[in-house]
Amino acid sequence: MVLDSTYDATLERAVKRAIARNLNATVAGQVVEGYARTYWFTVNSFSHPATIHAVRLQYDAEGISFQCDCEGAMHDRLCAHVACALNAVEAGMGEPEPKPAPISVGRRALDLLNGTDEPAYVHGRSA
């Protein structure tokens, strides 16, 4: 499902449920492709304490889409697990640690900027 303005009130209620139930999101993984970013979280269940739910959030040009494996989400409801994961992203969880580019990448960029080299790749792929 794609999160849009029709979910504002529902999202607010889901966030309140997540906070009241003391749900916790843990980053299970993430993928960044261009401007699209996908996160996977695990979130504990309130109604079934031994259960962990899987949540996927995708941020791209179309907005925010989400999935959860809980019963509510399977019935097209915005659940507290998704709200908990959204809060985690808003709080900065799941952001990759910045890593310096290798020196060779910096030299290549300078060559391209100075016009002394032809690009051998486009957007990280070999030409």
- The pLDDT, as a whole number, for residue 57 is 92
- Write the pLDDT tens digit of every residue in 25-49: 888 888 888 888 999 999 988 888 7
Within a 13 Å sphere around the CA of 96, how many CA atoms are in the beta-carbon half?
A: 11
- CATH class of the domain comprising 2-97: alpha beta
Q: What residue spans define the domains of the chain?
A: 2-97
Range 8-36 average pLDDT: 84
Using an 8 Å Cβ cutoff, are 19 and 43 in contact? no
Taking the model in full, what pTM does it have?
0.66
- Write the pLDDT tens digit of every residue in 68-123: 998 888 888 888 999 899 888 888 876 655 455 455 555 666 666 666 655 444 44
Residue type, 26: T
More confident residue, 23 or 120: 23
pLDDT classification of 125: cutoffs 50, 70, 90: very low
